[in-house]
Amino acid sequence: MKFALATANKGKIEEMRNILSSLGIEVVTRDELDIDIEIEETGTTFAENARLKAIAICKLSNMPSIADDSGLVVDALNGEPGVYTSSYGGENLTAKERYEYLLENMKNMEQKSAKFVCNIVCVFPSGKELIATGECNGSIATIPIGESGFGYDPIFIPDGYKKTMAELSSDEKNAISHRGKALNNFVELLRLSKASGECV
């Protein structure tokens, strides 16, 4: 079975494709399907937004569709930017400008703890839905370091590491990341639902 990926974010697409192919799941992207639409993320939770994206792409592709909604939850900022991570600091900023804005807001905060959260929702043409989550705990760095990954990786230090997510190789990141965990959980659910004879 082939799955459509509902994300338009190139960093996510690369990671999702690598992780899912290592788990035996083949995916096609929106670009490959020639689907060019803006999906409004009007939900107030990661799960709601992932569901909106998966439903939209499932309708257009008529394929089982996997959506990722994710973000950075910072304790000292009362959970911000959370579901608004992709637009934190305003519209039309670069990824670098967004994490610089976050670093500025964290400048005088002693508490640096944070986590990346990922919700994966898969919607099937039958209407069946699977949802899986993953989290990666860590802390916010004082200065950005590293070139790998995307988004806020240069300012996020995973627990147990002395380097940022952007200093890890893609395999190292995928093994511990919120997305890696959520996708592993999703594939486990998919296998269970197939094994139990549920029609997907």
174 belongs to the binding site for ligand ITT (CB under 6 A) = no
Q: Is 171 exposed, middle or buried (0-12, 13-18, 19+ CB in 10 A)?
A: exposed
Give CA–CA dist 119/186, Å, rounded.
Answer: 10
167 belongs to the binding site for ligand ITT (CB under 6 A) = no
Token pair for 146? 């590293």
* Closest CB 194 distance from ligand ITT, rounded Å: 26
Could you say which DSSP state residue 38 is in? P
DSSP-derived 3-state class of residue 45: coil
154 belongs to the binding site for ligand ITT (CB under 6 A) = no
CB 149 within 8 A of CB 165: yes
* Closest CB 189 distance from ligand ITT, rounded Å: 20
Binder among 65, 70, 164, 174 for ligand ITT (CB under 6 A): 70
115 belongs to the binding site for ligand ITT (CB under 6 A) = no
181 belongs to the binding site for ligand ITT (CB under 6 A) = no
State the distance between the two ends of the chain, measured CA to CA, in whole angstroms: 10
Give CA–CA dist 154/71, Å, rounded.
Answer: 14
* Closest CB 198 distance from ligand ITT, rounded Å: 27
Longest Cα–Cα distance in the chain: 55
Contact characters 25-44, ligand ITT, x per CB under 6 A: ----------------x---
61 belongs to the binding site for ligand ITT (CB under 6 A) = no
The residues of the shown chain that bind ligand ITT, judged by CB under 6 A, are 7-9, 12, 41, 53, 68-71, 85-86, 116, 149-153, 177, 179
